[in-house]
Structure 1
Amino acid sequence: MKNQTPGDVTRTRDTLSALIAEDEPLIAAALARELAAVWPELRIVATAGNGHDAIEQIGKLQPDVAFLDIAMPGATGLDVARACANLAAPPQIVFVTAYDAYALEAFEAAAIDYLLKPVETARLARTVERLRARLARSAASDTEAPQMQADLQRVLRQLEAITQDVREARAGALAGKADDTPRATPLRYLRASSGNDVRMVPVEDVLYFEAADKYVVVTTRSGELLIRTSLRELCAQLDPERFWQVHRGTVVNVDQVESASVSAIGKMTLQLRGHAGALAVSRQYAHLFRQM
Protein backbone atom coordinates (compact mmCIF):
# COMPACT_ATOMS: atom_id res chain seq x y z
CA MET A 1 0.00 0.00 0.00
CA LYS A 2 1.23 3.50 -0.78
CA ASN A 3 2.46 5.43 2.27
CA GLN A 4 0.53 8.64 2.79
CA THR A 5 1.99 11.95 3.89
CA PRO A 6 -0.14 14.43 5.85
CA GLY A 7 -0.85 16.32 2.63
CA ASP A 8 -1.76 13.17 0.68
CA VAL A 9 -5.18 12.34 2.11
CA THR A 10 -7.30 9.78 0.30
CA ARG A 11 -10.87 11.05 0.20
CA THR A 12 -13.61 8.51 0.66
CA ARG A 13 -17.12 8.77 2.02
CA ASP A 14 -15.89 7.06 5.25
CA THR A 15 -13.03 9.48 5.97
CA LEU A 16 -14.55 12.88 5.36
CA SER A 17 -12.92 15.77 7.14
CA ALA A 18 -13.50 19.48 7.64
CA LEU A 19 -11.75 22.64 8.76
CA ILE A 20 -13.47 25.53 10.54
CA ALA A 21 -11.99 29.00 10.03
CA GLU A 22 -13.52 31.41 12.55
CA ASP A 23 -11.87 34.08 14.70
CA GLU A 24 -14.49 33.82 17.46
CA PRO A 25 -13.72 30.64 19.51
CA LEU A 26 -17.25 30.40 20.93
CA ILE A 27 -18.80 30.52 17.45
CA ALA A 28 -16.29 27.96 16.13
CA ALA A 29 -17.07 25.62 19.03
CA ALA A 30 -20.82 26.04 18.51
CA LEU A 31 -20.50 25.18 14.81
CA ALA A 32 -18.40 22.10 15.67
CA ARG A 33 -21.10 20.93 18.09
CA GLU A 34 -23.85 21.45 15.52
CA LEU A 35 -21.84 19.52 12.91
CA ALA A 36 -21.30 16.66 15.35
CA ALA A 37 -25.07 16.44 15.77
CA VAL A 38 -26.08 16.52 12.09
CA TRP A 39 -22.97 14.89 10.54
CA PRO A 40 -21.41 12.64 13.22
CA GLU A 41 -19.01 10.85 10.85
CA LEU A 42 -17.36 14.12 9.78
CA ARG A 43 -13.97 14.73 11.44
CA ILE A 44 -13.02 18.31 12.34
CA VAL A 45 -9.29 18.15 11.65
CA ALA A 46 -8.46 21.77 12.49
CA THR A 47 -9.88 25.08 13.65
CA ALA A 48 -8.14 28.22 12.39
CA GLY A 49 -8.52 31.58 14.09
CA ASN A 50 -7.43 33.68 11.11
CA GLY A 51 -7.27 33.50 7.34
CA HIS A 52 -3.54 32.89 7.03
CA ASP A 53 -3.65 29.88 9.37
CA ALA A 54 -6.65 28.56 7.45
CA ILE A 55 -4.75 28.68 4.15
CA GLU A 56 -1.78 26.88 5.70
CA GLN A 57 -3.88 24.17 7.35
CA ILE A 58 -6.01 23.54 4.27
CA GLY A 59 -2.87 23.06 2.16
CA LYS A 60 -1.41 20.69 4.75
CA LEU A 61 -4.46 18.64 5.75
CA GLN A 62 -6.52 18.78 2.55
CA PRO A 63 -9.95 18.67 4.24
CA ASP A 64 -12.97 17.74 2.20
CA VAL A 65 -14.93 20.76 3.44
CA ALA A 66 -13.88 24.21 4.65
CA PHE A 67 -16.27 26.36 6.68
CA LEU A 68 -14.97 29.90 6.21
CA ASP A 69 -15.94 33.00 8.15
CA ILE A 70 -15.96 35.84 5.61
CA ALA A 71 -14.67 38.52 8.01
CA MET A 72 -11.42 37.26 9.56
CA PRO A 73 -8.17 39.00 10.53
CA GLY A 74 -5.14 38.52 8.29
CA ALA A 75 -7.01 37.16 5.30
CA THR A 76 -10.74 37.10 4.60
CA GLY A 77 -12.81 34.03 3.82
CA LEU A 78 -12.74 35.07 0.17
CA ASP A 79 -8.93 35.19 0.30
CA VAL A 80 -8.88 31.67 1.74
CA ALA A 81 -11.30 30.41 -0.92
CA ARG A 82 -9.14 32.03 -3.62
CA ALA A 83 -6.12 30.11 -2.32
CA CYS A 84 -8.17 26.90 -2.29
CA ALA A 85 -9.04 27.40 -5.95
CA ASN A 86 -5.35 26.88 -6.80
CA LEU A 87 -5.18 23.47 -5.11
CA ALA A 88 -5.25 20.25 -7.12
CA ALA A 89 -8.23 19.04 -5.07
CA PRO A 90 -9.95 22.04 -3.50
CA PRO A 91 -12.33 21.45 -0.59
CA GLN A 92 -16.01 22.15 -0.77
CA ILE A 93 -16.46 25.71 0.50
CA VAL A 94 -19.18 26.90 2.90
CA PHE A 95 -19.13 30.59 3.79
CA VAL A 96 -20.29 31.52 7.27
CA THR A 97 -21.59 35.06 7.09
CA ALA A 98 -23.32 37.81 9.01
CA TYR A 99 -24.50 39.56 5.81
CA ASP A 100 -28.10 40.65 5.83
CA ALA A 101 -30.94 39.34 3.72
CA TYR A 102 -30.48 41.36 0.53
CA ALA A 103 -26.92 40.07 0.19
CA LEU A 104 -27.96 36.47 0.85
CA GLU A 105 -30.14 36.43 -2.25
CA ALA A 106 -27.02 37.19 -4.26
CA PHE A 107 -25.11 34.40 -2.51
CA GLU A 108 -27.88 32.00 -3.50
CA ALA A 109 -27.54 33.15 -7.11
CA ALA A 110 -23.81 32.41 -6.94
CA ALA A 111 -24.65 28.72 -6.31
CA ILE A 112 -22.42 28.28 -3.26
CA ASP A 113 -23.26 27.18 0.25
CA TYR A 114 -23.48 29.73 3.04
CA LEU A 115 -24.60 29.73 6.64
CA LEU A 116 -26.00 32.79 8.36
CA LYS A 117 -24.81 33.54 11.88
CA PRO A 118 -25.99 32.39 14.33
CA VAL A 119 -26.12 28.99 12.60
CA GLU A 120 -29.49 27.21 12.74
CA THR A 121 -29.54 23.40 12.96
CA ALA A 122 -32.16 22.96 10.23
CA ARG A 123 -30.25 25.21 7.82
CA LEU A 124 -26.99 23.39 8.58
CA ALA A 125 -28.66 20.05 7.93
CA ARG A 126 -29.70 21.19 4.43
CA THR A 127 -26.15 22.33 3.73
CA VAL A 128 -24.82 18.96 4.90
CA GLU A 129 -27.17 17.14 2.50
CA ARG A 130 -25.82 19.16 -0.43
CA LEU A 131 -22.22 18.60 0.67
CA ARG A 132 -22.74 14.85 0.95
CA ALA A 133 -24.14 14.72 -2.58
CA ARG A 134 -21.29 16.75 -4.06
CA LEU A 135 -18.62 14.74 -2.25
CA ALA A 136 -20.22 11.49 -3.43
CA ARG A 137 -20.09 12.73 -7.03
CA SER A 138 -16.48 13.78 -6.54
CA ALA A 139 -15.48 10.35 -5.22
CA ALA A 140 -17.14 8.66 -8.21
CA SER A 141 -15.59 10.87 -10.91
CA ASP A 142 -11.97 11.59 -11.83
CA THR A 143 -13.02 14.78 -13.62
CA GLU A 144 -14.77 16.35 -10.63
CA ALA A 145 -11.69 18.12 -9.17
CA PRO A 146 -10.94 20.23 -12.30
CA GLN A 147 -14.64 21.12 -12.49
CA MET A 148 -14.61 22.11 -8.81
CA GLN A 149 -11.67 24.42 -9.48
CA ALA A 150 -13.45 26.08 -12.38
CA ASP A 151 -16.69 26.42 -10.40
CA LEU A 152 -14.87 27.90 -7.41
CA GLN A 153 -13.08 30.48 -9.56
CA ARG A 154 -16.38 31.48 -11.15
CA VAL A 155 -18.15 31.73 -7.81
CA LEU A 156 -15.33 33.81 -6.33
CA ARG A 157 -15.66 36.35 -9.12
CA GLN A 158 -19.39 36.58 -8.44
CA LEU A 159 -18.93 36.90 -4.68
CA GLU A 160 -16.24 39.54 -5.04
CA ALA A 161 -18.67 41.61 -7.09
CA ILE A 162 -21.43 40.98 -4.55
CA THR A 163 -19.36 42.00 -1.53
CA GLN A 164 -18.13 45.09 -3.36
CA ASP A 165 -21.73 46.10 -4.04
CA VAL A 166 -22.58 45.53 -0.37
CA ARG A 167 -19.64 47.65 0.82
CA GLU A 168 -20.55 50.47 -1.56
CA ALA A 169 -24.21 50.38 -0.53
CA ARG A 170 -23.30 50.56 3.15
CA ALA A 171 -20.74 53.28 2.58
CA GLY A 172 -23.34 55.31 0.70
CA ALA A 173 -25.86 54.87 3.50
CA LEU A 174 -23.33 55.90 6.14
CA ALA A 175 -22.30 58.96 4.15
CA GLY A 176 -25.94 60.00 3.86
CA LYS A 177 -25.92 60.49 0.11
CA ALA A 178 -28.51 63.03 -1.00
CA ASP A 179 -29.26 61.80 -4.47
CA ASP A 180 -32.21 60.35 -6.35
CA THR A 181 -31.36 56.75 -5.47
CA PRO A 182 -34.26 55.21 -3.53
CA ARG A 183 -33.32 54.44 0.05
CA ALA A 184 -33.22 50.76 0.97
CA THR A 185 -36.19 49.59 3.01
CA PRO A 186 -35.22 49.73 6.71
CA LEU A 187 -34.93 46.50 8.63
CA ARG A 188 -38.20 45.27 10.08
CA TYR A 189 -36.92 42.17 11.87
CA LEU A 190 -33.65 41.11 13.48
CA ARG A 191 -32.27 37.60 13.83
CA ALA A 192 -30.82 37.63 17.33
CA SER A 193 -29.47 34.90 19.59
CA SER A 194 -30.19 34.18 23.23
CA GLY A 195 -28.04 31.30 24.42
CA ASN A 196 -28.65 28.46 21.95
CA ASP A 197 -31.91 29.95 20.68
CA VAL A 198 -32.41 32.21 17.67
CA ARG A 199 -35.29 34.68 17.70
CA MET A 200 -36.87 36.93 15.10
CA VAL A 201 -37.30 40.28 16.83
CA PRO A 202 -39.41 43.10 15.34
CA VAL A 203 -37.23 46.23 15.40
CA GLU A 204 -40.15 48.20 16.84
CA ASP A 205 -39.82 46.08 20.02
CA VAL A 206 -36.19 47.10 20.52
CA LEU A 207 -35.53 49.62 23.30
CA TYR A 208 -31.91 50.29 22.36
CA PHE A 209 -28.78 48.80 20.78
CA GLU A 210 -25.39 48.83 22.47
CA ALA A 211 -22.02 47.98 20.93
CA ALA A 212 -20.08 45.15 22.60
CA ASP A 213 -16.83 44.23 20.82
CA LYS A 214 -17.85 42.36 17.60
CA TYR A 215 -21.45 42.07 18.74
CA VAL A 216 -24.39 44.36 19.33
CA VAL A 217 -26.51 43.82 22.43
CA VAL A 218 -30.21 44.16 21.62
CA THR A 219 -32.25 45.23 24.64
CA THR A 220 -36.00 44.63 24.69
CA ARG A 221 -38.49 44.65 27.57
CA SER A 222 -38.16 40.87 27.80
CA GLY A 223 -34.35 40.83 28.03
CA GLU A 224 -31.10 41.04 26.07
CA LEU A 225 -30.07 39.27 22.86
CA LEU A 226 -26.99 39.35 20.63
CA ILE A 227 -26.41 39.95 16.94
CA ARG A 228 -22.99 39.58 15.36
CA THR A 229 -22.40 42.78 13.46
CA SER A 230 -20.94 46.18 14.17
CA LEU A 231 -23.14 48.99 15.40
CA ARG A 232 -22.03 51.07 12.44
CA GLU A 233 -23.22 48.48 9.92
CA LEU A 234 -26.47 48.00 11.79
CA CYS A 235 -27.22 51.75 11.83
CA ALA A 236 -26.99 51.82 8.03
CA GLN A 237 -29.97 49.43 7.91
CA LEU A 238 -32.18 51.09 10.52
CA ASP A 239 -34.81 53.76 10.06
CA PRO A 240 -33.03 57.04 10.98
CA GLU A 241 -36.36 58.63 11.91
CA ARG A 242 -36.86 56.02 14.63
CA PHE A 243 -33.36 55.08 15.80
CA TRP A 244 -31.11 57.86 17.10
CA GLN A 245 -27.54 57.60 18.28
CA VAL A 246 -27.26 58.93 21.85
CA HIS A 247 -23.75 57.81 22.69
CA ARG A 248 -20.72 56.53 20.81
CA GLY A 249 -21.85 52.94 21.35
CA THR A 250 -25.59 53.34 21.91
CA VAL A 251 -28.57 53.77 19.58
CA VAL A 252 -32.04 54.25 21.06
CA ASN A 253 -35.53 53.68 19.68
CA VAL A 254 -37.02 57.18 20.16
CA ASP A 255 -40.54 55.73 20.11
CA GLN A 256 -39.66 54.05 23.41
CA VAL A 257 -38.32 57.19 25.14
CA GLU A 258 -40.63 58.28 27.96
CA SER A 259 -38.68 61.21 29.35
CA ALA A 260 -35.29 62.94 29.46
CA SER A 261 -33.72 64.48 32.55
CA VAL A 262 -30.57 66.47 33.27
CA SER A 263 -28.60 66.16 36.51
CA ALA A 264 -27.18 69.04 38.56
CA ILE A 265 -23.85 68.60 36.80
CA GLY A 266 -25.43 68.64 33.33
CA LYS A 267 -25.51 64.91 32.50
CA MET A 268 -28.57 63.82 30.53
CA THR A 269 -30.28 60.46 30.89
CA LEU A 270 -33.29 58.90 29.19
CA GLN A 271 -36.07 56.90 30.80
CA LEU A 272 -37.51 54.25 28.47
CA ARG A 273 -41.02 52.87 28.66
CA GLY A 274 -41.19 49.64 30.63
CA HIS A 275 -37.45 49.71 31.37
CA ALA A 276 -36.09 50.26 34.87
CA GLY A 277 -32.63 51.56 34.00
CA ALA A 278 -31.67 55.01 32.75
CA LEU A 279 -29.78 55.46 29.47
CA ALA A 280 -26.91 57.97 29.38
CA VAL A 281 -26.79 60.57 26.58
CA SER A 282 -23.46 62.11 25.62
CA ARG A 283 -23.17 65.89 25.29
CA GLN A 284 -22.79 65.51 21.53
CA TYR A 285 -26.38 64.24 21.23
CA ALA A 286 -28.08 65.94 24.18
CA HIS A 287 -29.58 68.66 21.96
CA LEU A 288 -31.86 66.05 20.36
CA PHE A 289 -33.85 65.78 23.59
CA ARG A 290 -33.81 69.35 24.91
CA GLN A 291 -37.47 69.87 24.07
CA MET A 292 -38.69 66.84 26.03
Structure 2
Amino acid sequence: MTGTTHASPGLRVLVVEDEPSTREELAALLGGIPELAEVVSAESGEDAVRLLGTPAFDAVFLDISMPGLDGMDLARVLSRLSAPPAIVFVTASESHAIEAFGIGAVDYLLKPVRPERLAESVTRIVRQGRGAAEEEPPADGLDVVQIEHSRRTVFVRRADVQFAEAQGDYVRLHTADGTHLIRMSLSYLEEVWAPAGFVRAHRGYLVAAGWVHDLRVTSSSGLVACTPAGDVPVSRRHARALREQLMEAARSGRLGRAAQ
Protein backbone atom coordinates (compact mmCIF):
# COMPACT_ATOMS: atom_id res chain seq x y z
CA MET A 1 0.00 0.00 0.00
CA THR A 2 1.23 3.47 -0.83
CA GLY A 3 0.13 6.95 0.02
CA THR A 4 1.02 10.44 -1.15
CA THR A 5 1.28 13.73 0.74
CA HIS A 6 1.74 16.89 -1.29
CA ALA A 7 3.75 19.84 -0.04
CA SER A 8 5.08 23.02 -1.62
CA PRO A 9 7.48 22.86 -4.64
CA GLY A 10 10.74 21.08 -3.89
CA LEU A 11 12.05 17.56 -3.46
CA ARG A 12 10.21 14.29 -3.99
CA VAL A 13 10.77 11.77 -1.18
CA LEU A 14 9.72 8.23 -0.31
CA VAL A 15 8.95 6.92 3.18
CA VAL A 16 9.41 3.15 3.66
CA GLU A 17 8.04 1.87 6.98
CA ASP A 18 6.07 -1.29 7.78
CA GLU A 19 4.39 0.07 10.95
CA PRO A 20 1.29 2.03 9.81
CA SER A 21 1.14 4.68 12.56
CA THR A 22 4.88 5.40 12.33
CA ARG A 23 4.66 5.59 8.54
CA GLU A 24 1.75 8.03 8.67
CA GLU A 25 3.39 10.19 11.33
CA LEU A 26 6.70 10.38 9.44
CA ALA A 27 4.94 11.22 6.16
CA ALA A 28 2.91 13.93 7.89
CA LEU A 29 6.02 15.49 9.46
CA LEU A 30 7.85 15.46 6.13
CA GLY A 31 4.80 16.90 4.37
CA GLY A 32 5.07 19.99 6.54
CA ILE A 33 8.67 20.76 5.53
CA PRO A 34 8.75 23.54 2.89
CA GLU A 35 11.65 22.08 0.90
CA LEU A 36 9.60 18.97 -0.01
CA ALA A 37 7.16 18.86 -2.92
CA GLU A 38 5.79 15.33 -2.56
CA VAL A 39 5.96 12.59 0.06
CA VAL A 40 5.12 9.05 -1.09
CA SER A 41 4.71 6.19 1.40
CA ALA A 42 5.46 2.47 1.03
CA GLU A 43 4.73 -0.25 3.59
CA SER A 44 7.57 -2.61 2.64
CA GLY A 45 10.86 -2.88 0.78
CA GLU A 46 9.14 -4.76 -2.02
CA ASP A 47 6.48 -2.03 -2.27
CA ALA A 48 9.24 0.56 -2.52
CA VAL A 49 11.02 -1.31 -5.33
CA ARG A 50 7.79 -1.32 -7.35
CA LEU A 51 7.69 2.45 -7.07
CA LEU A 52 11.15 2.92 -8.53
CA GLY A 53 9.71 2.95 -12.04
CA THR A 54 7.76 6.13 -11.24
CA PRO A 55 9.43 9.58 -11.44
CA ALA A 56 12.69 9.54 -9.54
CA PHE A 57 12.88 10.22 -5.80
CA ASP A 58 15.35 12.73 -4.43
CA ALA A 59 15.49 11.00 -1.04
CA VAL A 60 14.26 7.88 0.74
CA PHE A 61 13.53 7.69 4.48
CA LEU A 62 13.51 4.03 5.41
CA ASP A 63 13.23 1.74 8.40
CA ILE A 64 15.81 -1.02 8.80
CA SER A 65 13.90 -3.85 10.50
CA MET A 66 11.17 -4.84 8.06
CA PRO A 67 9.92 -8.29 6.99
CA GLY A 68 11.07 -9.45 3.57
CA LEU A 69 13.38 -6.91 1.94
CA ASP A 70 14.78 -4.99 4.92
CA GLY A 71 16.12 -1.43 4.94
CA MET A 72 19.77 -2.34 4.44
CA ASP A 73 18.99 -4.54 1.44
CA LEU A 74 16.75 -1.87 -0.04
CA ALA A 75 19.47 0.76 0.44
CA ARG A 76 21.89 -1.41 -1.53
CA VAL A 77 19.34 -1.67 -4.35
CA LEU A 78 18.89 2.11 -4.34
CA SER A 79 22.64 2.76 -4.36
CA ARG A 80 22.94 0.87 -7.66
CA LEU A 81 20.53 3.16 -9.49
CA SER A 82 22.00 5.45 -12.14
CA ALA A 83 20.84 8.46 -10.11
CA PRO A 84 20.52 7.11 -6.55
CA PRO A 85 18.40 9.07 -4.05
CA ALA A 86 19.78 10.34 -0.77
CA ILE A 87 19.19 7.73 1.94
CA VAL A 88 18.12 8.48 5.51
CA PHE A 89 17.62 5.57 7.88
CA VAL A 90 14.88 5.91 10.51
CA THR A 91 15.22 3.14 13.07
CA ALA A 92 14.90 2.26 16.75
CA SER A 93 18.49 1.05 17.22
CA GLU A 94 21.94 2.65 17.03
CA SER A 95 23.57 -0.70 16.21
CA HIS A 96 23.43 -0.31 12.41
CA ALA A 97 24.86 3.23 12.20
CA ILE A 98 28.32 2.25 10.97
CA GLU A 99 26.94 -0.09 8.30
CA ALA A 100 24.43 2.57 7.27
CA PHE A 101 27.04 5.22 6.60
CA GLY A 102 29.19 2.61 4.89
CA ILE A 103 26.36 2.24 2.39
CA GLY A 104 26.39 6.00 1.90
CA ALA A 105 23.48 7.21 4.04
CA VAL A 106 23.11 10.96 4.46
CA ASP A 107 21.72 10.61 7.98
CA TYR A 108 20.64 8.12 10.63
CA LEU A 109 17.62 9.02 12.77
CA LEU A 110 16.48 7.26 15.91
CA LYS A 111 12.80 6.74 16.70
CA PRO A 112 10.79 8.55 17.87
CA VAL A 113 11.94 11.21 15.43
CA ARG A 114 11.79 14.81 16.58
CA PRO A 115 10.51 17.29 13.95
CA GLU A 116 13.59 19.51 14.25
CA ARG A 117 15.88 16.51 13.73
CA LEU A 118 13.92 15.52 10.62
CA ALA A 119 14.18 19.06 9.26
CA GLU A 120 17.95 18.91 9.81
CA SER A 121 18.13 15.78 7.64
CA VAL A 122 16.22 17.51 4.86
CA THR A 123 18.66 20.43 5.07
CA ARG A 124 21.56 18.01 4.64
CA ILE A 125 19.88 16.46 1.61
CA VAL A 126 19.34 19.88 0.03
CA ARG A 127 22.95 20.91 0.69
CA GLN A 128 24.23 17.61 -0.69
CA GLY A 129 22.25 18.22 -3.86
CA ARG A 130 23.89 21.61 -4.20
CA GLY A 131 27.33 20.06 -3.77
CA ALA A 132 27.88 21.62 -0.36
CA ALA A 133 29.61 19.82 2.50
CA GLU A 134 27.35 17.38 4.34
CA GLU A 135 29.13 17.71 7.61
CA GLU A 136 27.64 20.16 10.10
CA PRO A 137 29.89 20.23 13.13
CA PRO A 138 28.64 21.72 16.39
CA ALA A 139 29.67 25.27 17.11
CA ASP A 140 31.17 26.98 20.16
CA GLY A 141 34.63 25.44 19.75
CA LEU A 142 33.30 22.01 20.72
CA ASP A 143 33.98 22.47 24.43
CA VAL A 144 30.75 20.51 24.79
CA VAL A 145 29.46 18.06 22.16
CA GLN A 146 25.71 17.60 21.84
CA ILE A 147 24.65 14.07 20.87
CA GLU A 148 21.10 13.08 19.98
CA HIS A 149 19.70 9.74 21.21
CA SER A 150 16.23 8.35 20.66
CA ARG A 151 14.53 10.01 23.63
CA ARG A 152 17.22 12.23 25.09
CA THR A 153 20.07 14.58 24.31
CA VAL A 154 23.49 13.88 25.85
CA PHE A 155 26.07 16.60 26.41
CA VAL A 156 29.66 15.34 26.48
CA ARG A 157 32.38 17.62 27.82
CA ARG A 158 35.58 17.69 25.80
CA ALA A 159 37.53 17.39 29.06
CA ASP A 160 35.88 13.98 29.65
CA VAL A 161 36.86 12.55 26.25
CA GLN A 162 39.98 10.37 26.56
CA PHE A 163 40.27 9.36 22.92
CA ALA A 164 38.31 9.50 19.68
CA GLU A 165 37.99 6.73 17.09
CA ALA A 166 36.99 7.21 13.44
CA GLN A 167 34.10 5.03 12.27
CA GLY A 168 33.06 5.87 8.74
CA ASP A 169 31.43 9.31 8.66
CA TYR A 170 31.15 9.15 12.44
CA VAL A 171 33.55 9.51 15.35
CA ARG A 172 33.17 7.46 18.53
CA LEU A 173 34.11 9.42 21.62
CA HIS A 174 35.49 7.32 24.49
CA THR A 175 34.96 8.54 28.06
CA ALA A 176 35.15 6.94 31.49
CA ASP A 177 31.36 6.48 31.43
CA GLY A 178 31.12 4.86 27.99
CA THR A 179 31.19 5.80 24.31
CA HIS A 180 29.19 8.20 22.17
CA LEU A 181 28.78 8.29 18.39
CA ILE A 182 28.69 11.67 16.65
CA ARG A 183 28.54 12.58 12.95
CA MET A 184 31.83 14.35 12.30
CA SER A 185 35.17 13.70 10.63
CA LEU A 186 38.22 12.89 12.74
CA SER A 187 40.24 15.48 10.82
CA TYR A 188 37.81 18.24 11.80
CA LEU A 189 37.90 17.14 15.43
CA GLU A 190 41.70 17.12 15.32
CA GLU A 191 41.70 20.69 14.00
CA VAL A 192 39.43 22.16 16.67
CA TRP A 193 40.66 20.07 19.61
CA ALA A 194 44.42 20.27 18.98
CA PRO A 195 44.77 23.38 21.21
CA ALA A 196 43.25 21.32 24.06
CA GLY A 197 45.96 18.66 23.82
CA PHE A 198 44.38 16.16 21.45
CA VAL A 199 46.93 14.59 19.12
CA ARG A 200 46.74 12.09 16.28
CA ALA A 201 48.03 8.71 17.43
CA HIS A 202 46.95 6.70 14.40
CA ARG A 203 45.14 7.30 11.13
CA GLY A 204 41.89 6.43 12.87
CA TYR A 205 42.52 7.74 16.40
CA LEU A 206 42.98 10.94 18.37
CA VAL A 207 44.08 10.78 21.99
CA ALA A 208 43.94 13.41 24.73
CA ALA A 209 47.52 13.73 25.96
CA GLY A 210 46.25 14.64 29.41
CA TRP A 211 44.61 11.23 29.78
CA VAL A 212 47.61 9.12 28.73
CA HIS A 213 49.34 7.51 31.70
CA ASP A 214 51.98 5.61 29.73
CA LEU A 215 53.08 4.24 26.36
CA ARG A 216 53.46 0.49 26.07
CA VAL A 217 54.57 -2.04 23.47
CA THR A 218 52.22 -5.03 23.21
CA SER A 219 52.65 -8.26 21.30
CA SER A 220 49.28 -7.91 19.59
CA SER A 221 48.98 -4.19 18.78
CA GLY A 222 52.53 -2.86 18.90
CA LEU A 223 52.89 0.57 20.50
CA VAL A 224 49.78 1.77 22.34
CA ALA A 225 48.92 4.83 24.41
CA CYS A 226 47.23 3.71 27.61
CA THR A 227 44.27 5.67 28.96
CA PRO A 228 41.72 4.72 31.66
CA ALA A 229 39.13 4.28 28.89
CA GLY A 230 41.32 1.85 26.92
CA ASP A 231 44.45 1.46 24.85
CA VAL A 232 44.92 3.51 21.69
CA PRO A 233 47.08 2.15 18.84
CA VAL A 234 50.01 4.37 17.87
CA SER A 235 51.36 4.19 14.33
CA ARG A 236 55.03 4.75 13.45
CA ARG A 237 54.07 7.82 11.48
CA HIS A 238 52.52 9.53 14.51
CA ALA A 239 54.68 8.12 17.32
CA ARG A 240 57.20 10.96 17.39
CA ALA A 241 54.63 13.77 17.50
CA LEU A 242 52.71 11.94 20.19
CA ARG A 243 55.81 11.47 22.33
CA GLU A 244 56.60 15.18 22.01
CA GLN A 245 53.06 16.09 23.02
CA LEU A 246 53.23 13.77 26.03
CA MET A 247 56.57 15.26 27.04
CA GLU A 248 55.06 18.75 26.89
CA ALA A 249 52.10 17.57 28.97
CA ALA A 250 54.49 16.10 31.51
CA ARG A 251 56.45 19.36 31.76
CA SER A 252 53.25 21.32 32.39
CA GLY A 253 51.97 18.81 34.93
CA ARG A 254 48.99 17.74 32.77
CA LEU A 255 50.09 14.18 32.01
CA GLY A 256 47.64 11.65 33.37
CA ARG A 257 44.96 14.29 33.94
CA ALA A 258 41.97 15.35 31.89
CA ALA A 259 42.58 17.71 28.98
CA GLN A 260 40.95 21.03 29.81
TM-score of the pair, normalised by structure 1: 0.44
More strand by share: 2
TM-score of the pair, normalised by structure 2: 0.48
